[in-house]
Chain A
Amino acid sequence: MLPAIFLPPPGDVLRTAWELARDGSLWVNIAASLGRVLLGVVVSAPLAVALGVLVGLSRRLAAVLEPIASFFNALSGIAWLPLAVTWFGLGWTSVTFIMFNTIFFLVFFNTLIGVRTVPRIFEHAVSTLGGSRRHLILHVLIPGALPSIVTGLHMGIGFGWRALIAAEMIATSTGLGFLIYNAANFHQTDTILVGIVTIGLLWLGTDRFILQPLERRTVERWGLVSTAP
């Protein structure tokens, strides 16, 4: 027989879930976590795509910046936390900084790769037909890089979500990461389990209903359909 502290019966977990939902704390923490992801995406993704395309325009610049981007890719996530806390203290700025670094470099790197894999013949074709640079960017480079960009976004949010949970345990006093870590201090195993299931379901939902359809649509529209030889 395990004591309930170690493994609460399902009934207890459901009751705790109901209580957390009714007093609103579950929703507050969900909103805090999702809001941070959203903020991270909004702040970093457009910038990353814009810079990725600009850098990708010059093959030489791209070759120079690629190693830097791949290094910061390797560093993505929670490793930024100590530096973030040193610079911004505990709180949402630190968390946003971590999310920014995680999402930005993954999207930037993949945009860069995407732009570089657009066949030059398309660029030449548009240029020969009198397309301006703006044309080239809007109608060739960005669409061509889109599958790669979406992959970068998918990975960035995946890594970011995991980093967020860890960062919330240390650096904030709201969010699902905080909820479960704080519950551990009081040995509230039922609350921890509610939090874990919520974290899993939120990711599955985001992945299934937002990221995968996005990826499928871009790949179908632009990507793996190759031109006839």
Chain B
Amino acid sequence: MTVRWDLAATWAAVLAVTLAGWGLAAATLPVPDYYLPPPTAVFAAFGDLVVKGILPTYIAESLRRMLLAALIGLAAGVPLGLVLGMSRRVADFAYPLLNFFQSVSGIAWLPLMLVWFGFGERTILVAVNYTVLFPVIFNALLGVRSVPRLYVNALRTLGASRWRIVRDVLLPGALPSIATGMRLGLAYGWRALIAAEMLVGAHGLGFMIFNAQAFHLTARIMLGMGTIGVLWLVLDYFLLRPLEEATISRWGLVQR
């Protein structure tokens, strides 16, 4: 427990020093206020946007889109990756395709989505879901392929059904890889979401910071950046990392 307090104290001290240095720089540097607004302006913007309800609404919008992409990634990407990975021939065929599609970021598809779906919610959702989905499918497939044949054969020899093999061998064996895929997919997806919100501009944190730039509301940009960073840290620290660690330590990749 003492370690945790140490950590909290360190974070608080770092934050205080950063804010003080930033405030000093903003007060002394000969640049206009919109170049480097003082921290107080960012806090004022925070209060202002919370009172007006804009910030909570935009956070909710962005998180809703992200959550949807995560759920679809889990519900569709994982089973698809598992199924594709089960047959060596299918996996060999799908591997280069999936690798290609996961290496094209969703944001590169955005121009095509704009032609197909126009400027709107649907374009954002497709771009984000695409970005999340492919790393998940790809890593689920890799995970299944990395399960030693020996285990599958052992269960089969003992008379297990196909379903038993999937449930007791392939899925657990692929879990660490799936967790990695989820973490990577969501990390890319979160950034694709911000970019898509900037370009398509329909609510959300990306829209907020991009729009603020047009009006030189730099304090609002910094507030948005802080929010984006903190939201991701919270998501990563409390959801994705525990998931990854739990699966990896559960399924024996930890040596000690």
Q: Which residues of A come within 8 Å of B, CB atoms?
A: 5-6, 63-65, 67-68, 70-72, 74-83, 85-87, 159, 161-163, 165-166, 169-170, 176-177, 180-181, 183-184, 187, 189, 192-193, 195-196, 199-201, 203-204, 207
Contact = CB atoms under 8 A, between A and B. Distances in A.
A132 B76 CA distance: 56
A87 B108 contact: no
A137 to B, nearest CB: 25
B112 A184 contact: yes
Contacts of B111: 169, 180-181, 183-184, 192, 195
Contacts of B191: 76-79, 159, 162-163
Nearest to A205: B103
A183 B115 CA distance: 10
Contact of A86 (B109, B112, B221): B221
A80 B173 CA distance: 38
Q: Interface on chain A toward B: helix, strand, loop, or mixed SS? A: helix
Contact of A82 (B14, B109, B188, B213): B213
Given A166-B199, A169-B199, A83 B218 contact: yes
Given A85-B213, A86-B213, A86-B216, A64 B108 contact: no
Interface stretch (B45-53, B146-154, B156-164, B226-234): B226-234
Contact of A204 (B11, B99, B232): B99
B138 interface: no
Contacts of B209: 79, 82
B112 A72 contact: no
The listed residue with most B CB atoms (<10 A of its CB), out of A6, A78, A189, A193, is A78
Given A74-B233, A169-B199, A184-B112, A86 B35 contact: yes
Contacts of B112: 180, 184, 189, 192-193, 196
The listed residue with most B CB atoms (<10 A of its CB), out of A64, A74, A75, is A74
19 contacts: A74-B230, A78-B198, A81-B210, A83-B218, A83-B221, A86-B216, A159-B187, A162-B107, A162-B192, A169-B110, A176-B108, A181-B199, A184-B115, A189-B115, A196-B104, A196-B108, A199-B105, A203-B104, A204-B100
Q: Interface on chain B toward A: helix, strand, loop, or mixed SS? A: helix
Contacts of B136: none
Interface in B190-225: 191-192, 194-195, 198-199, 206, 209-210, 212-213, 216, 218, 221-222, 224-225
B18 A200 contact: no
B191 to A, nearest CB: 4
Contacts of B216: 86
A40 B11 CA distance: 29
Given A67-B14, A86-B216, A181-B111, A74 B188 contact: no
The 9 A-B pairs with the shortest beta carbon distances in the complex, nearest first, are A184-B111, A82-B213, A75-B229, A166-B195, A200-B104, A162-B105, A74-B232, A203-B103, A77-B191
Given A72-B229, A163-B191, A196-B112, A86 B107 contact: no
Contact of A184 (B99, B114, B229): B114
Contact of B236 (A74, A162, A192): A74
B13 interface: yes
Contact of B194 (A65, A72, A79, A180): A79
Given A85-B213, A196-B112, A67 B10 contact: yes
A193 B111 CA distance: 9
A200 B101 CA distance: 7
A6 B228 contact: no
Contact of A68 (B14, B224, B232): B14
B251 interface: no
Given A5-B115, A162-B191, A192-B115, A70 B105 contact: no
A189 B187 CA distance: 28
B104 A64 contact: no
